Amino acid sequence: MSFSYVIAWLLPLATGVAAYLAFDRARAAGWRCSAAGYGFVFGLLLVSALTALSARVDTAHAWAHAAPWLVAVAMASIALIWLRGKNGSPLTQQFHRWGKGLGEGALSTTTPRWQRIALLVLLASLAFRAAIALREIWLRPTYPWDAWSAWMVKAKSWFGLGYYTPYVAMHDWMAQAPDANWYTGVAQHYPNALAWVEVWFASAAGGWIEPLINLPWLGLWIALLFAHYGQWRALGLSNTRALFFVYVLGSLPLLTVHAALAGYADIWIAVLFAFAVLAWTRWLQQRDIGQLALALVCAAVLPTIKLEGYVWMASLLAAIAFGALPSRWRWRCVILAVAAFLALFVFGGAKALLGLTGHADASGQLALVLAPSWHGEAIVGIGRTLFAQPNWHLLWWLVPPIVIWHRSELAARDWLWLPGLLLAVCIGLLLFLFLATDASRWAQSFTAINRLVLQLTPAVVSLLALLLRDVDFPAAERGTDPTRDPRSDPG
């Protein structure tokens, strides 16, 4: 492994952490882990944007072109933290504290011995599966279908050519001028963000070495767990409980598969959607404006990863706006939104509107949702994939009883029921897709359904973790966590 490849990992991480800390003003419990998790993902997103901007004419040395810009972003972020430090804790102190260790105090001495041992075993099992995933990625050429048919195609051609070239529709490709050098493919309309991340790592690795290009997928899985631990701590979970839910999240088989069989974009969507929900929840709970900004950034980035990111972004932004409304307006908005949805997608309004505006033929990608029809047979596929197959352990069996069990608490706190409502709407949209459109075949063939469910799953685990944060179980853990931020639960 070359020096440049090591730098290609460390530089985005450092820049991302600095950028996160520039947003995150309050140093709540778990902030180091949040910074590491969000920082890694933000670093890769910055890599994508800066590589796309600076390396189009020389993709073979993309990392060398983008790295100075990344350093500049890191310096700007540090300057912002320093300026803020004048009014709060000094910059050096903040970084010193961050450097003291990400897992510091993770298992306090107040935790009963048996729980500590059990948790260590569970967390060791996460390390074990991470090691297997690492070997899996390290050893083999890119394996899963969409990775080599869609997500790596642009990156491989740009890197192999040594420069960027546009991907166009096939009829344009057929008709192009001899010197145009346009490319095409079955996924030419997919967003480019991941392709630029792959170009960055390929250029740092010095060749199209697939294991080295796919390795960030494992980093993403680890970042997901770190960020969730940090945010759950900040939201009031005890060390023990936060670590237990880290195990719950990390043990979900299909999530691990998306790290081990690297190359799909769904885990990126899952990470960003979950990060947005967590940051928004912190805004709702603690009114930390930096967290609201984080939520908005994560939401805004979603469409640059994958096309369904538009739907999740719209859902998130609508939820954030809904949460900001005065109570008296909220129900009116719900009625309006439901009526608009029914009019547009159930009663054919969207199709009619497109027809009226002369865009009837532009409805290709929306065709699925523009002509809804009931597909009850998909229920069997949905049921099997969520409740029988070994994709999610017991997660979907546990969600309904836990929500019902804690319904009164859920209803009592904005920072619980608003994210809960968002997830319910998102799940409702998935049910609409699979039960009321031709996408039902993807539920019956067990294909897209799980990958779309995956995109919401970490956020669903967060909701369960927050609902169970104060449950008196077992007896030895009764009482309030002494390390909990007194501001963490305004409700």
Partner 1 sequence: MIRRIILVVVLIFIWLAVLGWAAGVPWNAPIVPTQRIALSGSDFRAQFGSGVPAANVFVVSALAADGTGLQTVPLARVRATDVPVLCYSLADFPDTLELSLVFRRADASDDLGTVSIPAPGSGMACVNLSTYADWRGEITELGFAEYATAQLVPPSVAANFPPFRIESVQLQSPSWSQVFARVRSDWFGYRPWALLSISALGPQIFSLQNSWMQLVVVLGLLFSLAATWVILRWPRQRIALAAVFAAIGAWVLLDLRWLDDFVAKHRVIERLYAGKPWDERRALQPDEDTLAAAREVSRLAQEQGVKRVLVLSDSTYTLLRFIYFLLPLNTAPMAQALGETPGAPPPRDALIAVFGSEWNYDKAAGTLGNGTVAYRVAPVYAKGDLRVFRARETTP
Give the residue with the Cβ less far from partner 1, 171 or 328. 171
* 334 counts as binding partner 1 under rule CB under 8 A: no
Interface with partner 1 (CB under 8 A), residue from 473, 479, 483, 490: 473
Smallest gap from residue 117 Cβ to partner 1 (A): 14
Residues 6+ apart with CB under 8 A from 82: 91
Give the residue with the Cβ less far from partner 1, 232 or 415. 232
Smallest gap from residue 384 Cβ to partner 1 (A): 8
Q: Are 227 and 37 in contact (CB under 8 A)?
A: yes
Give the residue with the Cβ less far from partner 1, 36 or 449. 449
In the structure encoding, which two tokens stand for residue 201, read together? 């790592």
In the structure encoding, which two tokens stand for residue 219, read together? 């980093």
In the structure encoding, which two tokens stand for residue 463, read together? 């909701």
Contact stretch for partner 1 (CB under 8 A) within 23-31, 146-154, 317-325, 408-416 = 146-154
DSSP string, 247-299: HHHHT-HHHHHHHHS---SHHHHHHHHHHHHHHHHHHHHH--HHHHHHHHHHH
* 124 counts as binding partner 1 under rule CB under 8 A: no
How many residues line the site for partner 1 (CB under 8 A)? 68
Contact stretch for partner 1 (CB under 8 A) within 93-101, 216-224, 317-325, 380-388 = 380-388
Helix (H, G, I), strand (E, B) or coil at 167: strand
Give the residue with the Cβ less far from partner 1, 135 or 287. 135
CA dihedral 21, 24, 25, 31 (to 10 degrees): -80
Interface with partner 1 (CB under 8 A), residue from 120, 127, 175, 339: 175
In the structure encoding, which two tokens stand for residue 202, read together? 């390929």
- When computed from its CA atoms, the radius of gyration of the chain, rounded to whole angstroms, is 23
* 114 counts as binding partner 1 under rule CB under 8 A: no
Smallest gap from residue 70 Cβ to partner 1 (A): 26
In the structure encoding, which two tokens stand for residue 453, read together? 């469910």
C-alpha span between 289 and 279 (Å, rounded): 10
Where in 191-230 is the site for partner 1 (CB under 8 A)? 209-211
Site string for partner 1, 260-279 (x = CB under 8 A): xx--x---------------
Q: Per DSSP, what are the bridge partners of residue 183? A: 167
Q: What single-letter amino acid sits at 16?
A: G
The label of the residue with tokens 């409702």 reads: 428
Give the residue with the Cβ less far from partner 1, 147 or 292. 147
Interface with partner 1 (CB under 8 A), residue from 181, 365, 480, 483: 181
CA nearest 316: which of 269, 363, 348, 350?
269
Interface with partner 1 (CB under 8 A), residue from 184, 371, 379, 409: 184
* 159 counts as binding partner 1 under rule CB under 8 A: yes
Interface with partner 1 (CB under 8 A), residue from 258, 306, 351, 375: 258
Phi-psi region for residue 263, left (φ > 0), alpha (ψ -120 to 50) or beta? left
Interface with partner 1 (CB under 8 A), residue from 57, 356, 388, 404: 388
Contact stretch for partner 1 (CB under 8 A) within 83-91, 311-319, 420-428, 445-453 = 445-453
Q: Report how far Cα 235 is from the mean position of its chain's Cα atoms.
A: 18
* 115 counts as binding partner 1 under rule CB under 8 A: no
Interface with partner 1 (CB under 8 A), residue from 53, 127, 186, 334: 186
Residues 6+ apart with CB under 8 A from 17: 35, 36, 39, 40, 43, 98
Give the residue with the Cβ less far from partner 1, 322 or 396. 396
Q: What single-letter amino acid sits at 284?
A: L
Quote the DSSP letter at residue 343: I
Q: Report how far Cα 347 is from the mean position of its chain's Cα atoms.
A: 33
Footprint of partner 1 (CB under 8 A): 122, 125, 128-129, 132, 135-136, 139-141, 143-146, 148-149, 152-153, 156-161, 169-171, 173-175, 178, 181, 183-186, 209-211, 248, 251, 253-254, 256-258, 260-261, 264, 384-385, 387-391, 393-394, 397-398, 446-451, 473-474
